[in-house]
Amino acid sequence: MAFRTLDGVNLQGQRALVRVDFNVPMEDGQVSDDTRLRAALPTIEKLRQGGARTILLAHFDRPKGKVVPEMSLKPVVEPLSRLLGAPVAFAGNCVGAEANDAVHVMKDGDVLLLENVRFHAGEEKNDKDFAMALAVNGDIFVNDAFSAAHRAHATTECLAHLLPAYAGEQMRLELSALDRALGQPERPVIGIVGGSKVSTKLDLLKHLVTKLDKLAIGGGMANTFLFAQGHDVGASYCEKELAETAREIIRLAGQNNCKLFLPLDIVVAEKLAPGAPARVRPVGSIDEHERILDAGPETVERLCRAMDNSRTLVWNGPLGVFEMPPFDKGTVAAAHHAAELAKAGKLVAVAGGGDTVAALNAAGVTDDFTFVSTAGGAFLEWMEGKTLPGVAALARQ
């Protein structure tokens, strides 16, 4: 999809309403992880250098249309100002007199953060009157929050139809990386999909087997596929009622010439606990009290060889219970191998989703991947082939 960017736009004196993702982790009223603040800096800097007046719109948590003091964005002001190396003003409302007055006194190059847009019910309802109340303070609209692009909300969708709309630098980065991964990828393309439940990723799996050359399934969802093939899974988590669905996905993969990789060997234990005694078993060889908690070394080795023979990787979900050693070995080994290939320029490696990001961070390889998206729901819906309202609204007319 071709989308409008800020390149070549005359920004001098323009009031830019910028949708950012400042839904950051907080501890004791302080920002505990500033990753999302850092992600917004390139767009803010571009606007400031162009002489624009930057007005930031964001949500925090789920106040459900009511003012909840604990969900104020005010704690973001100080760390953002520090990262920016410039003062950031704050208005205690995103619409009305307080917001209007704060915007009115801005000078070129200034930055203003408005209060949580979800304090108003009109945000999540994609209400046009609310969007118009926001739009009176802007000349242009910039969406830099890919993570919220799967929501048709006032600040992600409606505003884009009321003002000239552009993709911010982080949005551009996300969309370009995703296009390289599934839109116009270098082939062969391999996908890794893990996590616990098949039920949460049915649309994803059905779409990917029509787009990929190879697909490796890991984590708890692999147990459902193994069970569907007649293998004993012992006391493992398994959605047995989805066995026929799993067989349907296997058939769909075959029809679309997508090679499916299911575990060859498994790591099992009787209980999930740090340092629990673990054994490697061939698939199907498991005692009734044992649980499958990771992919085995033979499975991981085959996956690494498949990556060697691919040009593009899309990864969502861990191969095992990565949060708890020794059941992190499969995910860590595969992540290190993908990172080495990406670093050497042999593989375009794109990953996304909350658990995936946490797993790559734990493996210490995030920076070596081609691109790692912090957008959870939006990344998944994009992988499922769905149209994201916030992205569609930026399409070049």
SS3 315: strand
The first and second tokens of residue 148, run together, are 């919220």
User: Any idea how long the chain is?
Assistant: 397
Number of Cβ within a 10 Å radius of residue 280: 15
Backbone angles phi, psi at 40, to 5 degrees: -85, -15
From CA 215, how far away is CA 208, in angstroms rounded?
8
From CA 380, how far away is CA 207, in angstroms rounded?
11
E strand or H helix at 15: strand 15-19
DSSP label of 235: T
Per-residue CA distances from 53 to 56, 109, 133 (Å): 10, 5, 18
42 within 8 A of 87, measured Cβ to Cβ: no
Residues marked as catalytic: 36, 197, 354, 377
